[in-house]
Amino acid sequence: MTAAVAADLVATLEDRTIIRDRVRAELTAQGLDGYLGFTPSNVAYLSGYVSYFLSSWWRMHGTVMVALNTDAAAQPVLVLGDAEKVSALDAAIGCDVRAYPMWVETRGYAEIIVEPGAEASRPTQWNEDDIDRFFIDALDALGLRSGRVGTDLRHMPHHTVERLRRIAPEVEWVDFTTEMYGIRAIKLPFEIERLRAAAELAEAGMTTAAALATEGTTLGAIRAGFFAGVAEAAQSDPKYGEFSDLWVLPGMGSQSSIASATAGSNGMKAGDLLKFDCGTTVGGYRSDHGRTFVLGEPSEQAATLYDDLSAAHALAVATMRPGAPISGPFTTAQAYMQERGYPGYRRGHYGHSLGLDSFHEEPPFLGPDEPGVFEAGMIFAVETPFYGSDLGPIMLEDLVLVTADGPEYITSLPRTLMQAGG
């Protein structure tokens, strides 16, 4: 992989400016003076910095924020703990980064061998008064201590909401959750490439794990094989340097639950289906797709059901063109499954957007009541699964990019029922 291709995953200042201007335009349209981002996803989206503390530990929610006003000339302000300041300064391009003290010692050797002076101690974790003071200063810097300010109210803990009301009593806090999801649904090229890279790693994990399958192979061994395949691929190319984590929900034979536990797995048998529902994260962007393999020959019913789900999947994808209703894939796939003789097959949706959320299913959903239309730059995980334990689990899920010319598959593994085993 050349350096030029790897560079496609890098967000430039121009990219961040486009994102911030999109948010500013929506704020203006909603009559808001600014925005305060608290969720890990929205902090990363606006600032460009994926905070490990905020993304990995739910107790850190409310300790990191990014503020933005509607003035295109004003830099957003990112507030976080000083343990992350150096990396934030590098990643949060075009941001005013401000850091309060945390428990982590961040001074260099030359500083720790001398008397600390005023820095005689650090807080046990952090001092909430320090955080509040930094938040207030950020709001002051952007002229947001009064007026109407959008924020992530839907996903904020009660304690954080009360803090905001206490430190900025003249602000009317307005939920901006739906609007942010709408903006984030249309991806820039660097976002598409990060999701493409994440999908490539997941496919490496699936093919490695499936190749291990023999009679008696347990679900635990399949999971371990997936981990190993992703890790090997991640080390193979600098392109994957921002790979950070993975997830997988495997199932085999009668172990078709969507849970990730492996207890009770008795091992594969000839004719068993092996399904993967999985993803990895690259540069903060988390993929979600899956495939189904079979050890030997599938039952006639399983093979027929797979073919029908595959056909429904292809028909759903074909509807994904700019201007077409987002509800179209659901209507199309559901009608096809009914026509093929499965009146009891029901889905709440046939896919979803995805991106920065740790729970990879993001709005909008490919459901019957979705009011929007497809736009170029949207990416959806399109899925037609079967979780029944009688035939074994089936998963066919792809990442599909909506382009001006129609749908484009980002995922590349065959969409047929593939053979497991070496």
Measured CA to CA, the distance from residue 24 to residue 27 in angstroms comes to: 5
Instruction: Report the CATH number at residue 310.
Output: 3.90.230.10
Does residue 262 register a pLDDT over 70? no
Are 199 and 180 found together in one domain?
no
97 plus 199 within the same structural domain? no
Domain end marker among 164, 184, 204: 184
Q: How many domains does the chain have?
A: 2
* pLDDT for the residue 267: 87
Residue 342 is part of which domain span?
189-419
pTM of the model: 0.94
Does one domain contain both 148 and 117?
yes
Q: In terms of domains, do 154 and 211 share one?
A: no
Q: Which of 147, 162, 184 is the last residue of a domain?
A: 184
Do 405 and 269 lie in a common domain? yes
CATH number at residue 57: 3.40.350.10
Do residues 287 and 407 share a domain?
yes
Tell me: pLDDT of 4 over 50. no
Residues 162 and 222 in one domain: no
Using an 8 Å Cβ cutoff, are 364 and 370 in contact?
yes
CA dihedral 29, 326, 48, 22 (to 10 degrees): -20
User: Do 267 and 339 belong to one domain?
Assistant: yes
The verdict on 100 and 130 lying in the same domain is yes
Cα–Cα distances in Å, from 279 out to 138, 162, 177, 229? 36, 36, 24, 12
Residue-averaged pLDDT of the chain: 94
Cα separations in angstroms, 273 against 57, 375, 422:
36, 36, 15
The 10s digit of each residue's pLDDT in 155-209 is: 999 999 999 999 999 999 999 999 999 999 999 999 999 999 999 999 999 999 9
Statement: residue 235 has pLDDT above 50: yes
Pair 193, 108 in one domain? no
Q: How close are the terminal C-alpha atoms of the chain, in Å?
A: 27
> What percent of the chain clears pLDDT 70, i.e. is strictly above it?
95
Residue with tokens 């493409």: 196
Is the domain of 167 the same as that of 226? no
Same domain, 173 and 212: no
User: Which of 85-89, 265-269, 296-300 is least confident?
Assistant: 265-269
Domain's final residue, options 184, 202, 237: 184
